[in-house]
């Protein structure tokens, strides 16, 4: 019913928009003067938020607990032998395997001159993977995996190595936790220190767990009862498992205000390991109607504040910065993305089509559709596309080389296409 109501509102909005555009210059001038003071106040608040994000990016540049495994990995790779060598980093999800590999990759004085960083998604194709590596031939390969058998299969030669990631030490865990909330352990209020120790014990040295919890606590008041509530919500176990990690991520999601939940769920529209441009994402939120003016503040500034809040809560990961140190691109950790997709399915928030079978299961109540077809799946999927009714779709994204969008273009809030990882898009694409 709510979707049907939304359709009626959309139709009505289209009829009155022309009238609103006829508003005279005098009325616009009066409205601007009335909101001038509020605009000035909001500008100061935005400046404060930007400073907070800069501090957050600085904290992220200080990696904790990686010096020993980094040195160990460099020693494995840095020899004068010219033959191929494979090193597999294996460990539990959230231990920092990809962070370690990326740290080696980004070192200015790296062990090799020619480097490539290639994410392998759950639905990768060999052809696409080979194309990504063709121009980056080398003699050192680093793989990351949660599965020991996969690591062994990658390192089948006697010269290869397997590096097993370990949880952070108690000292590194405390440093990571307190630095992200207070910038130092000494700055932690006395009444919160014992609770912090208990929370860290439940995180069991897992970097992703510590980062997620500290991001959530950093946004809370320094109130002992609030911290005790979060501690109690984590349960009593100390032996960390996949279920425990998901519980922490779920808690961080439940702790969000409704408007941030909606914005976070929208990230499920993007494929795994996709670099999302901040500005494009903010425009999409606005086109979807997720953003409302607050205290005279423009929707663009409100959207920026929402993005910054998700970054500060460590729910999305910065993937690029401008010259001023502000986040320009972001990514979603695969475990957080799993949670997002689970919530999206529960709430019928969006639909992902990543194969021909998914196309045949589409119903006529799909509101947001993300088409992620590649290779043979794309060819076979397009054969079925013409038989599907998509009259209710309001947002459509396609990631791949070919797209069939004429059927869904009418009535769209967001129309976005991707080719070779670059996006072209049209917001409020209603015709």
Are the beta carbons of 353 and 382 closer than 8 angstroms? Answer: no
Q: Are residues 147 and 173 in the same domain?
A: no
pLDDT at 253: 94
CB of 70 closer than 8 Å to CB of 103: yes
CB 166 within 8 A of CB 91: yes
pLDDT of 135: 47
Question: 276-277 and 85-90 as β-strands: parallel, antiparallel, unpaired?
Answer: unpaired
Residue 12, pLDDT score: 44
- Are residues 249 and 319 located together in one domain of the fold? no
Give the residue, 43 or 211, on which the prediction is more confident.
211
Residues 361 and 405 in one domain: yes
Q: Are residues 250 and 267 in the same domain?
A: no
107/191 same-domain check: no
Whether 158 and 227 map to the same domain: the answer is: no
Residue 317 token pair: 């990961």
In a domain, residue 4? The reply is no
Alpha-carbon span 240 to 213, nearest angstrom: 14
Q: Is the pLDDT of residue 413 over 90?
A: no
Do 160 and 173 reside in the same domain of the chain?
A: no
Question: Does residue 233 lie in a domain region?
Answer: yes
Which residue range(s) make up the domain with 308? 26-60+258-331
Asked, for residue 245, whether it belongs to a domain, the answer is yes
Q: Which stretch of 15-29, 222-236, 324-338, 371-385 has the lowest confidence by average pLDDT?
A: 15-29
In angstroms, rounded to a whole number, what is the distance separating the alpha carbons of residues 139 and 282? 41
Whether residue 155 is found in the same domain as residue 83 = yes
β-partners of residue 285 are: none
Domain membership of residue 403 (yes or no) is: yes
Same domain flag for 248 and 313: no
pLDDT band for 254, please (50, 70, 90 cuts).
very high
* Residues 404, 382 contacting (CB under 8 angstroms): yes
Q: Is 1 inside a domain boundary?
A: no
Listed residues 238, 254, 270: the one ending a domain: 254
Helix boundaries (H) for 22-63: 25-34, 36-61
Q: What is the tally of structural domains in the chain?
A: 4
Inside any domain, residue 336: no
DSSP state of 269: G
If you ran DSSP here, which 8-state letter would residue 188 be given?
S
Q: What angle do CA 156, 162, 164 make, to 5 degrees?
A: 150
- Could you tell me if 237 and 295 lie in one domain? no
Pick the last residue of a domain from 199, 227, 254: 254
The domain boundary residue, chosen from 193, 223, 254: 254
Which of 375, 423, 376 minimizes the C-alpha distance to 398?
423
Does 337 reside within a domain?
A: no
Exposed e or buried b for every residue in 221-255, given b needs 16+ CB within 10 A?
eeeeeebeebbeebeeeeebeeebbbbbbebbbeb
List b or e across 134-145, with b for residues whose CB sees 16 or more CB atoms inside 10 angstroms. Answer: eeeeeebbbbbb
Residues 74 and 55 placed together within one structural domain of the fold: no
CA distances from 115 to 65, 74, 101, 102, 290 (A): 24, 14, 12, 11, 40
Closest alpha carbon to 248 in 284, 277, 207, 276: 207
pTM over 0.95: no
The answer to whether residues 272 and 122 touch, using CB atoms and an 8 Å cutoff, is yes
Q: How confident is the model at residue 94 (pLDDT cuts 50, 70, 90)?
A: confident
Residue 338 belongs to some domain of the structure: no
Percent of the chain with pLDDT over 90: 25
Q: Is the pLDDT of residue 127 over 80?
A: no
* Top-confidence residue, 308 or 366: 308
Mean pLDDT of 271-297: 90
| Claim to verify: residue 94 and residue 140 sit in the same structural domain | yes
Highest-confidence segment of 32-41, 51-60, 168-177, 363-372? 168-177
């Amino acid at each position: 019913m709510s979707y049907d109501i939304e359709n009626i509102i959309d139709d009505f909005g289209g009829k009155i928009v022309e009238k609103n555009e006829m508003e005279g210059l005098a009325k616009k001038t009066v409205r601007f003067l009335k909101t001038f003071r509020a605009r000035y106040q909001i500008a100061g608040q935005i400046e404060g938020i930007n400073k907070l994000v800069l501090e957050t990016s600085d904290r992220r540049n200080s990696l904790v607990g990686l010096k020993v495994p980094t040195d160990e990995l460099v020693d494995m790779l840095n020899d004068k032998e010219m033959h191929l060598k494979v090193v597999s980093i294996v460990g539990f999800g959230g231990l920092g395997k990809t962070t370690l590999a990326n740290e080696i990759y980004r070192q200015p004085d790296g062990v090799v001159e020619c480097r490539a960083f290639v994410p392998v998604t759950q639905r990768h194709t060999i052809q696409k993977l080979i194309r990504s590596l063709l121009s980056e031939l080398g003699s050192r390969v680093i793989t990351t995996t949660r599965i020991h058998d996969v690591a062994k299969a990658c390192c089948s030669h006697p010269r290869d190595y397997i590096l097993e990631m370990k949880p952070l030490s108690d000292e590194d865990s405390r440093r990571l936790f307190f630095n992200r909330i207070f910038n130092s352990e000494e700055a932690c209020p006395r009444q919160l220190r014992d609770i912090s120790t208990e929370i860290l014990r439940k995180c069991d040295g897992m970097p992703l767990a510590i980062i997620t919890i500290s991001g959530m606590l950093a946004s809370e008041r320094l109130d002992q009862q609030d911290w005790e509530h979060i501690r109690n919500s984590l349960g009593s176990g100390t032996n960390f498992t996949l279920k425990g990690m998901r519980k922490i991520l779920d808690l961080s999601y439940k702790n969000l205000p409704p408007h941030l939940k909606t914005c976070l769920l929208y990230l499920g529209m993007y494929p795994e390991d996709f670099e999302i441009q901040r500005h494009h994402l903010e425009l999409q939120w606005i086109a979807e109607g997720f953003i409302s003016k607050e205290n005279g503040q423009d929707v663009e500034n409100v959207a920026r504040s929402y993005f910054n809040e998700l970054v500060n809560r460590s729910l999305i990961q910065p993937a690029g910065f401008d010259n001023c140190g502000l986040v320009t691109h972001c990514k979603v950790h695969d475990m957080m993305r799993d949670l997002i997709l689970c919530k999206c399915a529960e709430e019928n928030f969006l639909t992902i089509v990543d194969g021909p079978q998914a196309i045949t299961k589409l119903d006529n109540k799909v509101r947001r559709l993300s088409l992620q077809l590649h290779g043979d799946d794309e060819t076979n999927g397009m054969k079925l596309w013409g038989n599907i009714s998509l009259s209710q779709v309001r947002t459509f994204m396609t990631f791949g080389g070919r797209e069939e969008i004429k059927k869904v273009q009418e009535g769209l809030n967001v129309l976005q296409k991707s080719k070779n990882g670059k996006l072209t898009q049209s917001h409020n694409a209603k015709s």
